[in-house]
Chain A
Amino acid sequence: MLNSGEQSDNIYWHYTPNINYSIGLDYQQDKVSKEYFPSARLTYLLNRKNTVTSQRNLYVKTGVGLTNSDNHFYALTGDWESRRLFAGFSAKKISGVSYDLFEQSVKIGVAPYLGDYGDFHTWLMIETKKNDLDDKRTTYPVLRLFKSGALVEVAYHKSTDWTAHLMYRF
Chain B
Amino acid sequence: MKKILIATSFLLAATAAQAGHHEKGEMHSHEGHLHETMVDGKEIVVDPQRFDIFVTGLDNSQIALVSVQGMVCDFCARGIEKTFSKDKSVSKIDVDLASGKVLLAYPAGVKIDLADIKKKILNNGLNATDIQVMRN
In the bound assembly, the distance between CA atoms of A117 and B50 in angstroms comes to 13
Chain A residue contacts of B73, Cβ below 8 A: 81, 83, 121
**Which of A2-10, A89-97, A129-137, A143-151 forms part of the interface with chain B?**
A143-151
Contact between A19 and B124, CB atoms less than 8 A apart: yes
Q: Are A48 and B125 in contact (CB under 8 A)?
A: yes
B66 at the A/B interface (Cβ < 8 Å)?
no
Q: Which of B11-19, B29-37, B74-82, B104-112 contacts A (4 or more CB under 8 A)?
A: B74-82
A169 touches B78 (CB 8 A): yes
Alpha-carbon gap, A159 to B30, bound state (A): 56
Interface size classification for chain B: 20 to 34
A interface: dominant SS: loop
Tell me, rounded to whole Å, the shortest Cβ–Cβ distance linking B42 to chain A: 16
User: Which residues of the partner chain B approach A51 to less than 8 Å between Cβ atoms?
Assistant: 69-70
Q: Which residues of A are found within 8 Å of B129, using beta-carbon distances?
A: 52
- Report the stretch among B1-9, B53-61, B84-92, B94-102 that lies at the interface: B94-102
Flag if A116 contacts B97 (CB, 8 Å): yes
Instruction: Name B96-136 residues within 8 Å CB distance of A.
Output: 96-98, 100, 123-127, 129
Docked complex Cα distance between A119 and B96 (Å): 12
Interface contact A83-B74, CB-CB below 8 Å: no
Q: B38 in the interface, Cβ–Cβ < 8 Å?
A: no
Question: B70 near A48 (CB under 8 angstroms)?
Answer: yes
- CB atoms of B77 and A50 under 8 A apart: no
Chain A residues near B81 (CB-CB < 8 A): 117
Inter-subunit contact B70/A146 (CB<8 Å): no
A50, B127: Cβ atoms under 8 Å? yes
Most chain A CB atoms below 10 A, which of B74, B81, B123, B125: B74
Measured CB to CB, the closest approach of chain B to A31, in angstroms, equals 30
Contacting pair B74 A146 (CB below 8 A): yes
Q: Distance in Å from the Cβ of A106 to the closest Cβ of chain B?
A: 20
Q: Is the CB of A148 within 8 A of B127?
A: no
Q: Are A148 and B78 in contact (CB under 8 A)?
A: yes
Given contacts A114-B98, A116-B98, A169-B78, contact A18 B123 (CB under 8 A): yes
A1-56, CB < 8 A from B: 18-19, 45, 48, 50-55
Residues on A lying within 8 angstroms of B by beta carbon are: 18-19, 45, 48, 50-55, 81-83, 114, 116-119, 121, 146-149, 169
A-B contact pairs, 15 of them (CB 8 A): A18-B123, A19-B124, A19-B125, A45-B125, A48-B125, A50-B126, A50-B127, A83-B72, A83-B73, A117-B74, A117-B95, A118-B74, A121-B73, A146-B74, A148-B74
